[in-house]
Amino acid sequence: MPDRATAFPDRSISMRRLWVPIYGPTVLISVGMGAVVPLIALYALDLGASVTQAAIIVGLIGFGQLTGDLPAGSLAQRFGEKRVLLAACVVEAAALVTASQTSSLLVLSACVFAIGLASAVFGLARHAYLSEAVAIGYRARALSTLGGTFRIGSFIGPFVGALLIEQHSMGAAFAFAACTSLAGGLLSLFLPELPGDGARKAPVEAEPQARLSLWQVLRDHRKVLATLGSGVFLIMIARASRQAIIPLWAASQGLDATTTSVIVGLSAGVDMLLFYPGGAIMDRFGRMWVALPAMAVLGAGFVLLPLTDTAVLIGLVACFMGLGNGISSGIVLTLGSDVAPPEGRRQFLGGWRLCADLGNVAGPGLISLVSLAFPLGVAAVALGLISWIGVGWLAKWVPVYDRSRDTVPAKV
């Protein structure tokens, strides 16, 4: 595998020029979606869905993301990040407006699925752009900040949604989210052109890259996706399971919804505070110094959770897990950028994000499966063991960072 220092030319863009067009849309859209996502199940119930049907409709967001990951890479390769970002925001806004006006569960389901598709395309385009726009010495900080801005928006969004419902209606929250999506798309138009884009679009240089199909790129880099991609899969299982199991465990110990919300909020607050330090550690010392401790902490949190039975103890473990999750903000994005090939980069990142999103779906599913036959505490311990297995797996496959050469050569 080629050395990543020579794989990409020097075409970095000043971080100051990216604050508004990259991080601004992320904050806006995550605030809007944070306001809407908790309401989708309630909205479906209002339209006559059963509890099972409402859960399935909510899950269509994740299914839409899985479905959209691979096509998103091809779309970004063909049309460029700026166009794809705008198109994704427009589709998302249209789906939100349609959802707010419908009385049909079928239409609502289609809209939720479309939101997931748009989210996949938007996320891939941002990831691909930053992978090339930012110098490798600042890459982890840039991508961890991207993850941090998403966390900030997702933290604020539910409070905005609650206020809109209280003052107006549930439809107002959907309309608000549609506006934030459109505003995010417009801000994306101010993305600076990448240095060298003109040369890359020249017919002589563009022709070899155009011959690379999605499946060819995935086939050529299947070893990276199977090894390091499996490590990312395990990271996302731990992350998604953390979000699902803490409220479930709190409820099983008799805590009310308000107390549970406070615990989740405190954990999210710890999570938000650590995204930039995590990126700085990755840039200074290497990716492994964040990936391994984060998984070890999450694993310990899962194992400790069944030992808690009061709000204080559950809150302490939740914050401890938030520490592990927060310090690893941007690790999945950074690793993907490190090992992405110079040709077919966007298609590769589509496959990379598919590995991550599969883990995002598998985590809560694993909790459900284990809980069918065993107590919830057993599911927590099983997730802890999976997280610790992930520590060993990542130790073997995470690329070694050589700061003296400012490169991240791949070991796979």
> Mean of the pLDDT values across residues 320-330?
91
> Mean of the pLDDT values across residues 176-185?
94
* pLDDT over 70 at 212, yes or no: yes
pLDDT of residue 400: 77
pLDDT tens string 292-313: 999 999 999 999 999 999 999 9
Q: What does pTM read for this prediction?
A: 0.85
* pLDDT over 80 at 10, yes or no: no
pLDDT tens string 333-383: 999 999 999 888 899 999 999 999 999 888 888 888 888 888 889 999 999
pLDDT of residue 206: 42
pLDDT of residue 166: 82
* pLDDT over 90 at 15, yes or no: no
* pLDDT over 70 at 135, yes or no: yes
> Mean of the pLDDT values across residues 157-169?
84
Q: Bigger pLDDT: 318 or 45?
A: 318
* pLDDT over 80 at 97, yes or no: yes
Check if the beta carbon of residue 162 is closer than 8 Å to that of residue 36.
no
* pLDDT over 90 at 210, yes or no: no
**Which domains, from first to last, does the chain contain?**
1-211 (1.20.1250.20), 214-412 (1.20.1250.20)
Question: For 22-26, 290-294, 397-401, which range has the lowest pLDDT when averaged over its residues?
Answer: 397-401
> Mean of the pLDDT values across residues 397-405?
69
pLDDT tens string 244-296: 888 889 888 888 877 887 888 888 888 888 888 999 999 999 999 999 999 99
Average pLDDT over the chain reads 85
Q: Bigger pLDDT: 411 or 155?
A: 155
